[in-house]
Amino acid sequence: MSIFEYNGSAIVAMVGKNCFAIASDRRLGVNLQTVATDFQRIYKIHDKLFVGLSGLGTDAQTLYQRLVFRHKLYQLREERDMKPETFANLVSAVLYEKRFGPYFCQPVIAGLDGDDKPFICTMDFIGAKELAKDFVVAGSASESLYGACEAFFKPDMEPDELFEVVSQALLASVDRDCLSGWGGHIYIVTPDDIKEKILKGRMD
């Protein structure tokens, strides 16, 4: 079994009309044994920027602390928040500089830029970015997430419809992966507000 699947994870980010959604499952396991059912995988960097960290849970928490540290330094120096594209470059650089002893994480970055246009991207564990205009996925359930998102996605969705689509895609996908699941955690971000929702899923 891959080290990336040791704890199990499922993360998806999807764009709508001047908004985006980022969602994850809530299970933390050790192979097939479930350890926690309220594990946080999505972290807020600022009001318009979120990062989801799939992969090894311990590395995800360490990487998040380093990213918060680097973002706070940027805020002090520049006196503004980091744009999503800039933050993606930062994450890529942080991962690549540790390429010989890497963080076993695949980040998903989602944010709104200065014009409130949604930006999403993911990368592998050494920082090779993959940009997308519709959705990105990561984690042990990524194969089934690709299929569900391809089926459900349509462009320019309003926030409420985007929530429904992401919820259905996430719940359908984690049911097909025994290493992730136990409900979902979703953020819907618009230029004006952030909605956080907890989904109930199959508890097995």
Residue 125: per-residue pLDDT: 96
| CATH number, residue 190 | 3.60.20.10
DSSP summary character for residue 3: G
Q: How far apart are CA 76 and CA 60, in angstroms?
A: 24
DSSP summary character for residue 99: T
Residue 1: per-residue pLDDT: 79
Residue 74: per-residue pLDDT: 97
In a domain, 204, yes or no: no
Q: What is the pLDDT of residues 13-52, one digit of tens each?
A: 999 999 999 999 999 999 999 999 999 999 999 999 999 9
Provide the domain limits for residue 131.
3-199
Phi/psi-derived region of residue 14, left when phi > 0, alpha when psi is between -120 and 50, beta in every other case? beta
In a domain, 144, yes or no: yes
Number of domains comprising the chain? 1
Residue 110 in 3-state DSSP? strand
> For residue 39, what are the contacts with CB-CB under 8 A and spacing of at least 6?
26, 27, 28, 57
Rounded to two decimals, the pTM is: 0.94
DSSP sequence for 117-139 = -EEEEEE-TT--EEEESSEEEEE
Residue 67: per-residue pLDDT: 97
Residue 204: per-residue pLDDT: 79
Residues lower than pLDDT 50 in the chain: none
- Write out the H or E segment, with its range, that includes residue 148: helix 142-152
In a domain, 142, yes or no: yes
Residue 133: per-residue pLDDT: 94
Residue 203: per-residue pLDDT: 83
